[in-house]
Structure 1
Amino acid sequence: MTTIPAASSTSTTAGAKAHARAQEAEAAASGAPDAVVPAESWAGQIAADKSDVVWAETVAGGSYAHRVLAAGSSVRLTDIAGDACASVLLYNADAPWERLNVADTAKVQWQVYTAPGQLLLSDQGRVLASVVDDTSGHHDILYGTSAEARNVERYGDGAPEGASPAGRELFAVAAAKNGLGRRDIAPSMSFFQGVTIDAEGSPTFTGSSGPGGSITLRTEMPVIMLVVNAAHPLDPREEYIASPLEIVAWRDRRTDPSDPRWVATPEGRRAFENTADYLKGRGIA
């Protein structure tokens, strides 16, 4: 750990500067999770040109990330160690009162389980993002993320700055950084910690598929993306467990009528057509 000299005090400008620079040096030396800036300097692997990378960040357990992304961005989330739980919210970046509707995402597509081809629908019947690849298969669209009261009961703390932060509290912090409030925090989708439903309608927590699982989303509209990495509310383990999550996004393309996903289902086709019509009116298409 970096030690600040005794003569240094954050009550003075010089002392505050020394403290801030020491913290930065300590974080760099420890390899602490952080965003890569500029993103194109990220050292990992993707099929796209590195100059197209627009977001590269490792999110620690019990933390969050957020970004505004253009339409036609690919976003790959990776469960590095096998215990991440990525809860995601999406908003129309130009009109954030339009946001992810997980109920319609399941109901309109007659499918409660996430897989390639699933469309993440807004409350206006448009496609905010689509799932283009998935090597995990362990996800949950039903149970959202944890609440502060539940985490206090289970772990003794649910505050965002505490040892076991609740997902909704972390979402509130990420939302505020994008001009959004608690009233804007809708039910979220969770990736990498699976839940299945049996014939009687009861949930079974299936947990992770193991280290290295990934899911790739394609943004079909300009979006605000909020990501929280917090223990799943149905995780039966006594300890609060959430391992690091990697996020990498790069410039790609939107789905167009030549893509089989566009016409895979009548419901999906209508959602894509609604999206294209909206974007054309906004001058984005």
Structure 2
Amino acid sequence: MTDNSVFAEDFLPGGGHLSFVLKRGQQVRFTDLEGGANVSLMLFNAHEKSERLNLPDSLKCQHTARLTSGHCLYSDMGRVLAAITRDTCGWSDSIGGVLNAEEVREKYGTGRYQELRNRFHRNGTDNLLVEMGKWGLELSDLTMPLNLFSRVDVGADGSLHFVEGNSRPGDAIELYAPMDTLFIVTALQHPMDPSAQYAPRPVQLTFARADESVAEHCRTSRPENERGFLNTQRLFA
């Protein structure tokens, strides 16, 4: 991503939520401003929203339990909704999901708007649903999100372990869209973050135009990805 290709920037505060369409041939960079950020991300085909991110297929077809630079995010139709072209922290979690309102109260205590105003405690489920509603989506469309910047390790006994400090200030993840892709995002702490303090971290979003060559290392990283990009290109044939 170069300075002369950037056409917009946005700021997502901790606890905030946002949605946008990243058009074919565009990139978005998420930058962790303070360290310890977590961005829960859902993806949809912007023109046919019944097609959406399928994390199990994304992991299975790329033979990985983690997603980072060189990997693709697949839809349930075998097309590439986005490609991870750059990742300085090296891991995004596909296991943890998000918390709902009851789980947030249990973990962080009561944090009502009446007392805290804009610092009130938000939860991932409601934040995602608010943004989904703007695009005609509802609860039945809520699926497992990808948690950018967060790492969860799986022990030999199957136990899950949240890795603290996976993302540091200035770490960035860049996603390229080979098709028009709807992004639904929220910046809240990972459900497995052991901190008992509600303190979600902000991120910066930078939007740029890009040549398809920026995702070439994603396309050629394995034969499955070459087929995924071919499936996607057929939409525009």
Shared fold per TM-score greater than 0.5: yes
CA distance in 1: counterparts of 2:171 and 2:223, whole angstroms: 30
The 3-state SS of whatever aligns with 2:97 is coil
Kept in 2, the 8 Å contact 1:159–1:166? The answer is: no
CA distance in 2: counterparts of 1:118 and 1:144, whole angstroms: 19
1:242 Cα deviation from its structure 2 partner: 1.0
> Counterpart of 1:120?
73
* Cα-Cα RMSD: 2.1
The 3-state SS of whatever aligns with 2:163 is strand
Kept in 2, the 8 Å contact 1:69–1:223? The answer is: yes
Counterpart check, 1:47 vs 2:17: no
User: Mean Cα displacement is larger for which, 87-96 or 195-204?
Assistant: 195-204
Counterpart check, 1:230 vs 2:214: no
The 3-state SS of whatever aligns with 1:140 is coil
> Counterpart of 1:27?
none
- In structure 2, the gaps of 5 or more residues are none
Counterpart check, 1:212 vs 2:165: no
The 3-state SS of whatever aligns with 2:233 is helix
Superposed, 1:96-245 pairs within 5 Å as: 96-157=49-110, 163-208=120-165, 209-245=167-203
1:128 Cα deviation from its structure 2 partner: 0.3
CA distance in 2: counterparts of 1:53 and 1:178, whole angstroms: 25
Counterpart check, 1:278 vs 2:235: yes
CA distance in 2: counterparts of 1:47 and 1:211, whole angstroms: 20
1:251 Cα deviation from its structure 2 partner: 1.4
1:48 Cα deviation from its structure 2 partner: 3.8
User: Mean Cα displacement is larger for which, 246-255 or 127-136?
Assistant: 246-255
TM-score, normalization by structure 2: 0.91
The amino acid of 1:203's aligned partner reads L
- In structure 1, the gaps of 5 or more residues are 1-45, 281-285
The amino acid of 2:17's aligned partner reads Y
Deviations 1:95-114 (CA, angstroms, capped at 9, x unpaired)? 01101111111112111112
CA distance in 2: counterparts of 1:212 and 1:151, whole angstroms: 27
TM-score, normalization by structure 1: 0.76
The 3-state SS of whatever aligns with 2:56 is helix
> Counterpart of 1:42?
none
Task: Report the CA distance shift for 1:222/1:238 in structure 2 as closer, same or farther (over 3 A).
Answer: same
CA distance in 1: counterparts of 2:112 and 2:69, whole angstroms: 34
Kept in 2, the 8 Å contact 1:139–1:192? The answer is: yes
Decide which of 35, 38, 41 is 1:85's aligned counterpart. 38
Task: Report the CA distance shift for 1:71/1:157 in structure 2 as closer, same or farther (over 3 A).
Answer: farther
The 3-state SS of whatever aligns with 2:212 is coil
The amino acid of 2:59's aligned partner reads A
Task: Report the CA distance shift for 1:157/1:174 in structure 2 as closer, same or farther (over 3 A).
Answer: farther
Kept in 1, the 8 Å contact 2:27–2:207? The answer is: yes
